[in-house]
Structure 1
């Protein structure tokens, strides 16, 4: 602290003040936007664009210039979001109970990957490895930006088929997307070296990495569930009331999975399901979820501020009509049609099927996959791919963000729920019904 008044203020002090304002916005904006056809991500991008457009900044937030940072930052945001998604699922895991999830993961996601790969080759003229990378990166529903179409916190009763389907899909689709991202990397390497790749890819990237991630996630989740809820009362973690333990479980699970060279995203979500299953009715589940969600929202807002800055710093400059056409087809045709095909025969109202098919939101996860893939292969055209990814994510955030509130409120009313009721009212209504 200085006794002499100086102007302009120290940039460090300005950064602290700005961080405080942004965190306050993270807490307040969801309440202010609850009934409006506007989402928190849209506001975050607008703020980031304004900051980087009108305020001098020491760095240019370009994913092309900082690919390693993009990979690591989005990796952190996604694993936190996956823990939160798993903790808030009330439905007990089962093949029949999760039928909608398998439909969205199986035919819907595979068709989406295939269609985007075809667009990459025939519309964008990409080499096959980059087209597959694009398909693997843009197929998953994002666990970070899809909060408005996901289930509510634990035991609140906000778990209809639409919300459950989109939440569980966002949690598990990484286990299906990552093998295709690795396939792109393997094909790019094979094109340069001529080494055989198929058997190694199938045994390691598909069988080992999926099976090991599920096993590690289940084991770590079981251990944390026992320590948290079932050891003697005087020392179990639930007694602390400190939800930070969920972050510990997230980081340990992800770290062990990465050490074992398997899919950490999948492992974290499975660990979250195991912790949730350890004591489904305990109030500490809500404490863990809420703490995780707070960290996720702060990290998400920081990421979207940088995304807004990238948009005004020339991220979309390489776009041409092929990229614009491909982005429109991916959002308006590929995902909705693939979703409806995957849901064919599923017993639900047409409005529910259309909502499930439409709200395949793209975001932080797609940024991570593209950064990971490009960081592990030597291919030209990075600026073009990042421009296309930026356009798809921007359009997805705008399109889904402007429609999510009216659509979900309409669905709630159609199913006899009050969209203006708070969590306690919904939980009471659910328990009594």
Structure 2
């Protein structure tokens, strides 16, 4: 295929997705399921050969997944209006720490026993497959704000946090690979630096940077009518600054980007004395953007809305790119016969067991708990960590196995959860006694 054919195919796909949105909803198909199918179809029609090899091109594919993950984490942070220190974060934190660790432990046992992997490689596989995706679960996530739906908030918070909390276990698995030379001193350094310092510093740096940038923009707009517009640059700039500062400080860049988005959208207005809010509601209805952006009672919300709207569209493009790549690479998963039992075990046993144990029985108490136990959707985070592992010491002996397992689990998760989300949401909404908030 020539470049013209690729332009035509991609343009036709994007227009077709817009035109068929209502039909896809009636067919119970999520966007990600369609993207996955199209990517797989491309791999069948166009022999990709070595032009898209997940082992040889791990660095390039890892960068693409990394950018998509940063966009998704920042966007999720912008949507969540609950303060960082609010007690409602306890459930997502338990899911992202305890349930994630239990998931890694169970997959480690399954990998060591069923796939005959060394313990270090089994830990690494568990860490790659443990993160859930806050973007691909968008069908479950209702509108969020200062009083969010409990189910959507828990799934979004878990997906955003465990993309970062799984990184220390990825580095642990890499350190424990054969011939990696792990020592007790290495384990101590890992515990203090990769676990405690990285997580805490990432949260603090992201919160400080998001708050500082947001306040500076609101101040300049309301006091001097400066820094108005270019909200797209503001969005990308905060992502780049948060991730870059965190990386330079050996902190978690993913946590920094997420908390930067969370802090940016919580920046308060700076009302001038003697001024009153505009007549319309706090939204932009009835007023020009410049009027709202420079008004001391509305500048913060105008900034947050503009950045969030841009990032939402950018998030859709990132999701399209990564999921189509996963679909195009899907033939690589056919190289492992053990997938027929490994995938059902991870999706049907490991996830519910980890949620029930890590969240103190939440999966067996309410319909919302059952929904959380089922919707552990794998996606961009697992793709990123797979490519990261290949580029940081995973040997050629284990790389094909990891590629086959990860692509198989991600693809099965996208299809199963994408098809089941609307029927299960209908079942969830029919419960009159289910505590939503």
User: Aligned pair in 2 of structure 1 residues 401, 277: CA closer, same or farther (>3 Å)?
Assistant: same
Deviation at 1:305, TM superposition (A): 1.8
Q: 2 CA distance for matches of 1:187 and 1:91?
A: 38
Q: Does residue 251 of the first structure (1) align with residue 240 of the second (2)? A: yes
Structure 1 window deviating more from structure 2 (81-90 vs 22-31): it is: 22-31
Q: Does residue 328 of the first structure (1) align with residue 329 of the second (2)? A: no
Alignment of structure 1 residues 255-294 onto 2, 5 Å = 255-279=244-268, 282-294=301-313
Deviation at 1:106, TM superposition (A): 3.2
Deviation at 1:17, TM superposition (A): 2.6
Q: 1:37 aligns with which of 28, 34, 44?
A: 28
Query: Residue 65 of structure 2 corresponds to which residue in structure 1?
Result: 74
Q: 1 CA distance for matches of 2:11 and 2:213?
A: 33
Q: 2 CA distance for matches of 1:26 and 1:80?
A: 21
Deviation at 1:163, TM superposition (A): 0.5
Q: Does residue 308 of the first structure (1) align with residue 327 of the second (2)? A: yes
Classify the secondary structure of the residue corresponding to 1:257: helix
Q: 2 CA distance for matches of 1:154 and 1:32?
A: 29
| Total equivalences in the alignment | 404
Q: 1:370 aligns with which of 386, 395, 398?
A: 386
What are the ranges of 5 or more consecutive residues in structure 1 without an aligned counterpart?
1-9, 418-429
Q: 1 CA distance for matches of 2:204 and 2:145?
A: 24
Query: Residue 296 of structure 1 corresponds to which residue in structure 2?
Result: 315
Query: Residue 23 of structure 1 corresponds to which residue in structure 2?
Result: 14
Contact 1:81–1:144 (8 Å) recurs in 2: yes
Query: Residue 339 of structure 1 corresponds to which residue in structure 2?
Result: 355
User: Aligned pair in 2 of structure 1 residues 217, 56: CA closer, same or farther (>3 Å)?
Assistant: same
User: Aligned pair in 2 of structure 1 residues 346, 359: CA closer, same or farther (>3 Å)?
Assistant: closer
TM-score, reference length from structure 2: 0.84
Alignment of structure 1 residues 193-212 onto 2, 5 Å = 196-212=185-201
Deviation at 1:409, TM superposition (A): 3.1
Q: 1 CA distance for matches of 2:265 and 2:128?
A: 28
Contact 1:104–1:342 (8 Å) recurs in 2: yes
Query: Residue 224 of structure 1 corresponds to which residue in structure 2?
Result: 213
User: Aligned pair in 2 of structure 1 residues 50, 252: CA closer, same or farther (>3 Å)?
Assistant: same
Q: 1 CA distance for matches of 2:20 and 2:199?
A: 38
RMSD of aligned C-alpha atoms?
2.8
User: Aligned pair in 2 of structure 1 residues 327, 346: CA closer, same or farther (>3 Å)?
Assistant: closer
Deviations 1:133-173 (Å, cap 9, x if unpaired)? 11111111113322222243658x7x311100000111111
Q: 2 CA distance for matches of 1:58 and 1:389?
A: 20
User: Aligned pair in 2 of structure 1 residues 115, 346: CA closer, same or farther (>3 Å)?
Assistant: closer
Classify the secondary structure of the residue corresponding to 1:146: coil
Q: 2 CA distance for matches of 1:181 and 1:87?
A: 27
Q: Does residue 162 of the first structure (1) align with residue 151 of the second (2)? A: yes
Q: 2 CA distance for matches of 1:34 and 1:294?
A: 19
Contact 1:77–1:300 (8 Å) recurs in 2: yes
Query: Residue 185 of structure 1 corresponds to which residue in structure 2?
Result: 174
Structure 1 window deviating more from structure 2 (367-376 vs 49-58): it is: 49-58
Q: Does residue 319 of the first structure (1) align with residue 319 of the second (2)? A: no
Q: 2 CA distance for matches of 1:286 and 1:410?
A: 32
Alignment of structure 1 residues 70-109 onto 2, 5 Å = 70-109=61-100
Structure 1 window deviating more from structure 2 (248-257 vs 144-153): it is: 144-153
Q: 1:136 aligns with which of 127, 131, 143?
A: 127
Contact 2:143–2:149 (8 Å) recurs in 1: no
Contact 2:68–2:319 (8 Å) recurs in 1: yes
TM-score, reference length from structure 1: 0.85
User: Aligned pair in 2 of structure 1 residues 227, 410: CA closer, same or farther (>3 Å)?
Assistant: farther
